[in-house]
């Protein structure tokens, strides 16, 4: 009899796992049906949430409430749906420049509002759980596309002192709703890898510690079980690209605050994916992640997942560059040495916060064999030198726009001189612009702007301008922007 019961339980477990896998596969395959095309880029402000709220107010499936206001007076909304006894709270954009999950939530609302083949799934889900969402906790930071709020406070370091109005909203929601589960939705550095691999950590998860000893209790255990289930289900779609975030205890952070107060709070961190600077594929995977999580919470299936799965997820490491030039020959005092060059492109906001530009710099030089690049070039047999500055000086940008950029790049010029620089730090020209010539040659060093030329037998092969690679074999200009230098 005992053996028979074990067999039945095993069959139920297998059946549940298969049903969940089918659900995750469908969420992945059908995502395009629910993607909201009002957002196609990461930079957007509170006006998007306002549009969303006005639409959801007309739908009886949703309840929309104002739960507080930001420092600058923008309303912070709570959106809820469902009638189940298990309460789940998800909040995004606590950091204003971490918008990937907010995009996914907009898509998720479309899914929950739809009338289609998923009706049975939605009915079962919302009979078992009540879902609560704060789709933009830091609207002031979002408007300036910056991490911190209007007073330059990191809200995720205000859980203990609770001084900011935005933080007080989240604390009050935890107290009033008393959610059993929480999803703390963030973006992480795109330079993280999943463990010691060379694969980007597109998604990372954490079951935060609730004390310095990192002890286990029932709340943290079920968080790990939910994450383990997500990992099992998403791995076939992004194999090797899921990491585990560092669990160092931070008493001022909200993940730890939630765990201390009884909410099984999963940290979701959206990282990097090749050729996805606007994180649209990562947005899709956030959508799949949340639906997969809500489903297993509603069914209780997470209880069958071992915490060993969570601990098997490789912990994040910083092993990535934007551009890796491997096996480059560099000359010094008549001798040649083989090195690797790791280049990173630091993203910065334009003055109106509506767009971005990059500042490409040499991050590291030497043996970088344990690191990887989103873009990698094997430069065996190539010699690297500093980029050249065109000898002629120009009056203004109007004169510069008349230049044959391809011809200049093919001659190894990475910069031009201009007497009248614009106020902006960047330019859409494929050449850097200098106000003054500098004949000082210090060699290629870490921290320098990434403006390089690479030769084979005195024949130019590649030009790197502001960290972007120009391949002379293709003539394809993929230089996003360059920099205007006053000195």
Pick from 373, 381, 389, 319: which is nearest to 341 by CA? 373
Same structural domain, 176 and 269: yes
- Single out the residue in 258, 286, 318 at which a domain terminates: 318
Residues 261 and 388 in one domain: no
Domain of residue 405: give its range: 320-485
> What was the pLDDT predicted at 442?
72
Inter-residue contact 91 to 184 (CB < 8 Å): yes
pTM: 0.93
Q: Find the CATH number of the domain harbouring 24.
A: 3.40.630.10
Pair (140, 249) in one structural domain = yes
CA distances from 182 to 227, 360, 443, 444 (A): 12, 38, 51, 48
> Do 297 and 351 share a structural domain?
no
Number of domains in the chain: 2
If asked whether residues 31 and 170 sit together in one domain, one would say yes
Identify whether residues 311 and 324 lie together within a single domain.
no
Cβ atoms of 438 and 415 within 8 Å: the answer is no
333 touches 45 (CB < 8 A): no
> What is the per-residue pLDDT across 26-42, written as a single tens digit (0 to 9) for each?
999 999 999 999 899 99
Q: Are residues 238 and 305 in the same domain?
A: yes
pLDDT tens for the chain, 487 residues: list them. 444 434 433 433 443 444 443 489 999 999 999 999 989 999 999 999 999 999 999 999 999 999 999 999 999 999 999 999 999 999 999 999 999 999 999 999 999 999 999 999 999 999 999 999 999 999 999 999 999 999 999 999 999 999 999 999 999 999 999 999 999 999 999 999 999 999 999 999 999 999 999 999 999 999 999 999 999 999 999 999 999 999 999 999 999 999 999 999 999 999 999 999 999 999 999 999 999 999 999 999 999 999 999 999 999 999 999 999 999 999 999 999 999 999 999 999 999 998 999 999 999 999 999 999 999 999 999 999 999 999 999 998 889 989 999 999 999 999 999 999 888 999 999 999 999 776 666 789 999 999 999 999 989 999 999 999 999 999 888 999 999 987 6
Answer yes or no: do 135 and 266 share one domain: yes
CATH of the domain at 465: 2.30.40.10
337 and 435 assigned to the same domain: yes
pLDDT, tens digit, for every residue of 68-90? 999 999 999 999 999 999 999 99
The count of residues in the chain is 487
DSSP-based three-state secondary structure for 470: strand
Tell the burial category of 342 from Cβ atoms under 10 Å away from its Cβ (0-12, 13-18, 19+): buried
The strand pair at 86-92 and 181-187 is best described as parallel
Residue written as tokens 């064999």?
369
* pLDDT value for 440: 60
- Of 318, 339, 360, at which residue does a domain stop? 318
> CA 232 to CA 17: how far, in whole Å?
10
Residue 134's nearest CA partner among 72, 73, 208, 65 is 65
């Amino acid at each position: 009899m005992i053996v028979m019961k074990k067999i039945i339980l095993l069959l139920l477990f297998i059946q549940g796992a298969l049903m969940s896998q089918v659900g995750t596969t469908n969420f992945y395959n059908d995502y395009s049906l629910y993607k909201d095309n009002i957002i196609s880029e990461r930079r957007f402000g509170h006006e998007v949430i306002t549009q969303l709220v006005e639409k959801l107010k007309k739908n009886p499936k949703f309840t929309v409430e104002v739960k507080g206001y930001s420092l600058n007076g923008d309303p912070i909304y709570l959106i809820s749906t469902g009638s189940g006894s298990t309460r789940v709270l998800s909040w995004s954009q606590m950091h204003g420049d971490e918008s990937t999950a907010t995009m996914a939530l907009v898509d998720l609302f479309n899914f929950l509002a739809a009338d289609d083949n998923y009706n049975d799934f939605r009915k079962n889900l919302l009979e078992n759980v009540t879902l609560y969402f704060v789709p933009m906790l830091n609207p002031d930071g979002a408007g300036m596309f910056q991490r911190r709020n209007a007073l330059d406070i990191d809200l995720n370091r205000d859980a203990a002192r609770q001084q900011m109005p935005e933080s007080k909203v989240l604390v009050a929601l935890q107290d009033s709703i008393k959610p059993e589960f929480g999803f703390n939705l963030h973006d992480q550095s795109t330079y993280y890898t999943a463990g010691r691999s060379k694969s980007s950590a597109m998604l990372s998860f954490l079951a935060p510690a609730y004390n310095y000893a990192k002890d286990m209790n029932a709340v943290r255990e079920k968080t790990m079980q939910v994450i383990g289930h997500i990992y099992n289900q998403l791995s076939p779609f992004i194999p090797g690209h899921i990491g585990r975030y560092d669990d160092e205890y931070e008493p001022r952070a909200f993940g730890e605050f939630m765990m201390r107060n009884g909410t099984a709070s999963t940290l979701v961190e959206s990282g990097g994916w090749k050729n996805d600077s606007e994180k649209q594929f990562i947005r899709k995977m956030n959508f799949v992640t949340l639906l997969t999580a809500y489903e297993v919470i509603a069914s209780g299936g997470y209880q069958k997942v071992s915490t060993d799965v969570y601990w098997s997820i490789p912990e994040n490491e910083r092993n990535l560059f934007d551009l890796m030039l491997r096996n480059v020959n560099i000359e010094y005092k008549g001798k040649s040495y083989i090195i690797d060059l790791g280049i990173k492109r630091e993203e910065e906001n334009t003055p109106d916060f509506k767009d971005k530009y990059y500042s490409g710099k040499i991050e590291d030089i030497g043996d970088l064999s344990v690191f990887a690049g989103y873009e990698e070039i094997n430069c065996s047999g190539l010699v690297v030198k500093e980029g050249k500055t065109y000898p002629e000086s120009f009056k203004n940008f109007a004169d510069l726009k008349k230049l044959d950029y391809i011809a200049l790049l093919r001659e190894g010029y990475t910069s031009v001189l201009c007497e009248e620089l614009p106020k902006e730090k960047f330019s859409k020209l494929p050449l850097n612009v200098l106000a003054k010539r500098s004949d000082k040659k210090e060699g290629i060093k870490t921290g320098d702007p990434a403006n390089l030329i690479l030769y084979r037998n005195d024949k130019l092969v590649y030009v790197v301008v502001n960290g972007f690679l120009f391949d002379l074999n293709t003539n394809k200009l993929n230089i996003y922007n360059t920099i205007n230098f006053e000195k």
